[in-house]
A and B are shown apart, each in its own frame.
Chain A
Amino acid sequence: MSNLLKKQKSFNELEEIANELRKRIIETGANSKIPHIGSCLSCIDLLVYIYWNELEIDPLEPNDVDRDRFLLSKGHGAPALFQVLAERGFFDKERLLEFGKPGSVFHEHPPKPGLIPGIEAATGSLGHGFSMALGMAVSSKITAKNYRTYVMLSDGECNEGSIWEAALLAPTLNLHNLTVIIDFNKWQATGRSEEIMTLQPLNLKWEAFGWHVQEIDGHNFNEMDEAFNNAKQKKNKPSVIVSNTIKGKGVSFMEDDNNWHYRIPNKEELKLALKELGFES
Chain B
Amino acid sequence: MRDAFAKEMKSLVERKNNVVLLSGDIGNRMFDGLKNSRPEQFINCGIAEANMMSMAAGMALSGMRPVIYTITPFTTLRCLEQIRIGVAYHESPVVIVGTGSGLSYSELGPTHHSLEDMAILRTIPNINVLAPADKIELVFQLREAIESPNPTYIRIGKKGEPDLCKFNPNYVIGKANVIRSGTKYLLLGVGPILGEALKAAEMLELEGVNLCVASMGGVYPIDVDFLTKMISEGFTNWITLEEHGIVGGLGTAIIEWLSDSNNSKIINVKRLGVPKQFINKLGNQEYTRKQFGLDPIGIKKQILEL
Query: Does B89 lie within 8 Å of A112, measured CB to CB?
Result: yes
Which residues of B approach A to under 8 Å, CB–CB?
Answer: 17-18, 20, 40-41, 43, 45-46, 48, 50-64, 66, 81-82, 85-86, 89-91
Given contacts A121-B90, A125-B81, A138-B43, is CB(A169)–CB(B51) below 8 Å? yes
Contacts of A161 in B (CB 8 A): 50
Contacts of A132 in B (CB 8 A): 54-55, 57-58, 61, 86
A122 to B58, CA, bound (A): 11
Measured CB to CB, the closest approach of chain A to B49, in angstroms, equals: 8
Measured CB to CB, the closest approach of chain A to B232, in angstroms, equals: 41
Query: Does B48 lie within 8 Å of A121, measured CB to CB?
Result: no
Partner pick for B86 among A128, A142, A169, A173, CB 8 A cutoff: A128
A138 to B48, CA, bound (A): 16
Main DSSP-derived SS at the B contact region: helix
Report if A174 contacts B (CB, 8 A): no
Query: Does B55 lie within 8 Å of A131, measured CB to CB?
Result: yes
Query: Does B86 lie within 8 Å of A166, measured CB to CB?
Result: no
Which residue on B lies nearest to A145, using beta carbons?
B62
Which residue on A lies nearest to B53, using beta carbons?
A131
Which residue on A lies nearest to B45, using beta carbons?
A169
Contacts of B89 in A (CB 8 A): 112, 122
Contacts of B62 in A (CB 8 A): 69, 135-136, 139-140, 143
Main DSSP-derived SS at the A contact region: helix
Measured CB to CB, the closest approach of chain B to A55, in angstroms, equals: 16
Please list 17 pairs of residues, one from A and one from B, whose beta carbons are closer than 8 Å in the complex, sorted by A's number: A65-B63, A128-B82, A131-B86, A134-B51, A135-B54, A135-B55, A135-B56, A136-B62, A138-B55, A142-B20, A142-B64, A143-B18, A162-B51, A165-B50, A165-B51, A168-B48, A169-B45
Q: Give me 10 other A-B pairs in contact (C-beta within 8 A), A121-B58, A133-B58, A142-B41 excluded.
A: A131-B51, A131-B53, A132-B61, A132-B86, A136-B59, A139-B58, A139-B59, A142-B64, A165-B50, A166-B55
Report if A89 contacts B (CB, 8 A): no
Query: Does A169 lie within 8 Å of B63, measured CB to CB?
Result: no
Contacts of B45 in A (CB 8 A): 169
A101-145 with Cβ < 8 A to chain B: 112-113, 120-122, 125, 127-136, 138-140, 142-143
Measured CB to CB, the closest approach of chain B to A149, in angstroms, equals: 8
| Chain A interface residue count, Cβ-Cβ cutoff 8 angstroms | 31
A50-87 with Cβ < 8 A to chain B: 65, 69
Contacts of B60 in A (CB 8 A): 135
Given contacts A112-B90, A162-B51, is CB(A121)–CB(B61) below 8 Å? yes
A121 to B90, CA, bound (A): 8
Partner pick for A168 among B17, B40, B46, B50, CB 8 A cutoff: B46
Query: Does A165 lie within 8 Å of B18, measured CB to CB?
Result: no
Query: Does B61 lie within 8 Å of A142, measured CB to CB?
Result: no
Which residue on A lies nearest to B66, using beta carbons?
A135
A113 to B63, CA, bound (A): 14
A139 to B51, CA, bound (A): 15
Query: Does A120 lie within 8 Å of B61, measured CB to CB?
Result: yes
Query: Does A113 lie within 8 Å of B61, measured CB to CB?
Result: yes
Contacts of B66 in A (CB 8 A): 135
A181 to B35, CA, bound (A): 34
Query: Does A162 lie within 8 Å of B50, measured CB to CB?
Result: yes
Partner pick for A139 among B46, B48, B64, B90, CB 8 A cutoff: B64
Measured CB to CB, the closest approach of chain A to B187, in angstroms, equals: 40
